[in-house]
Amino acid sequence: MDKNIRICIVGGGPAGLSAGMYLEKKGYTNYTILERLDRVGGKCWSPYYNGRRYEMGAIMGVPSYYAVHDVEEFCGITHDGPKLNRNYKDAAGNVIEPFEPKKNILKIPRLLKMKKQVKKLGELLETKYKGYDLNGHRGVSEGRYEGFSQTSAKREPVSGVNPNLKDLALPFSEFCKLNGVELIQDIWIGPFTSFGYGYFDEIPAAYVLKYLDFQTCMNFVKINLWTWKDGTQSIWESLNDHLKNPARLNSHIEKVERKDGKVYVTVNGEVEEYDKIIVTAPLYIPNKRDDGQIGMVDYFDAREDEKSLFSKIDYERYDVLACETKPEDHPEISYYVFDNMVPQKLGRLMVYYRRWKDTKDQVITTYALRKHKDRNEIDYDVCKKMVLNDLKTMKNPASNVVNEWSVYYFPHVFSEDYAAGWYEKVEAMQGKYDTYYAGEVMSFGDMDETAEYSRELVERFF
């Protein structure tokens, strides 16, 4: 492709900024990144409180976040944040140690069985489900894999046929039952459901295992985690500062027309002409959002195939509160509340996070889900009230809410559409209409998976 083509990138989150970086590395410098907000970073949002940054979005990474490490190297930064740790409470606010046999004598048989099932799953993923951990979803519903290996930072291209991969379209709970590893859900649920990615009885196994592949999940178990002193947003702020063409903030895209081999973007009242466009912003948002955010099909000259496919996308209603506490009520550590990570407890506090261990003059952040595909959605204000009541039950009551966020989160399709080849159909459209689709839904809704997908998109098409 001509290195001088004009490329528009929609979105200044990890996917969009990474697309700019990888294009730049390949010699494409005539790109423009348009961001609707007054900041970069997307769901990596790290506001300030009392001179330090806290996390409203992404919190951490692991050593296998190769794309994030690419950004670190490009910018000359590193993961220099506070060390993380956590503990557990039950729904009544009692501290528990669910994985410690000495503290759970009656549960020793279950814990031993769980340990065997974790080992079994690891073996199955390496053999029966070879190719499961590639970034993106190309070919999975057809029983094949195609992409770049994620076993090392080299990310060498691999491909093959494996009919067993079709099992990944099943809801994760059914996948686990099929393979006789139901108990591993007790481990995988912490970094999955509490981080807002839905429930195991509704979300296809592909999403769970592409995010929490075996080595990534073991890093979470061992607390072998990365953080950044100035928050995850600082990664993308630094990248934006190092790009030849930083994102243009406060860019309101009113219309996109694709005709005669050109892409015409009306942004802030002015029409700009491009040759190609990469969409890393939401492709479709069901229902009107209070923040006014809309999907690509609402401002593009969307074609029927785009409308038909993207209308299958749903997303999670995931709410975050940043709360002050009195010093005597500040938690000594972050806590998971496994009892509340079930569909029956929609809207309840699932985890709360203490970022800074050396002071109590900082906020804690709380996380709750209020949607399941088979249940009525919990109203935002009702959810907020339940979370604040749960903090009281946890004996860490909030004295004030200083920030709150209900963001468009984890776009995905459900098992029926996944199995019917949704991803293969969308991938077949890449480049059609001079348009490329990237961002969360094309891989997974964490910062590394989205950045990695942008890398692969550039490798494949540019």
Looking at residue 223, what is its pLDDT? Answer: 93
Say yes or no to pLDDT of 70 above 80.
Answer: yes
Contact 264, 257 (CB under 8 A): yes
CA distance 288 to 252: 17
Q: What is the mean pLDDT of residues 150-154?
A: 85
- Residue 93: exposure state from Cβ atoms within 10 A (0-12, 13-18, ≥19): middle
Q: Which residue has the higher pLDDT, 107 or 269?
A: 269
User: Cα–Cα distances in Å, from 2 out to 27, 384, 459, 462?
Assistant: 10, 51, 14, 9
Place 105 in a pLDDT band, splitting at 50, 70 and 90.
Answer: confident
In the chain the domains, ranked by start, together with CATH numbers, are 7-58+229-313+413-461 (3.50.50.60), 99-221 (1.10.405.20), 316-411 (3.30.70.1990)
Among candidates 448, 97, 57, 63, which has minimal Cα distance to 224? 63
pLDDT at 41 over 90: yes
Alpha helices in 157-230 (DSSP H): 172-178, 185-192, 205-211, 214-221
> Lowest-confidence range among 172-181, 222-231, 283-292?
283-292
Query: Quick one: average pLDDT of 348-367?
Result: 96
> Given this model, what pLDDT does residue 1 score?
83
Q: Are 350 and 192 in contact (CB under 8 A)?
A: no
164 contacts: CB under 8 Å, gap ≥ 6? 128, 129, 143
- Say whether pTM exceeds 0.75: yes
DSSP for 144-168 reads: EEEEE--SSTT--EEEEE-GGGGGG
pLDDT tens-digit map of 252-265: 999 999 999 999 99
104, pLDDT greater than 90: no
pLDDT in tens, 370-396: 999 999 999 999 999 999 999 999 999
Q: Determine the pLDDT at residue 106.
A: 81
Beta bridge partners of 95: 89
pLDDT of residue 102: 79
Whether residue 103 is predicted with pLDDT greater than 80 in this model: the reply is no
Under DSSP, is residue 318 helix (H, G, I), strand (E, B) or coil? strand
pLDDT tens digit sequence for 315-346: 999 999 999 999 999 999 999 999 999 999 99
- DSSP letter assigned to residue 400: E
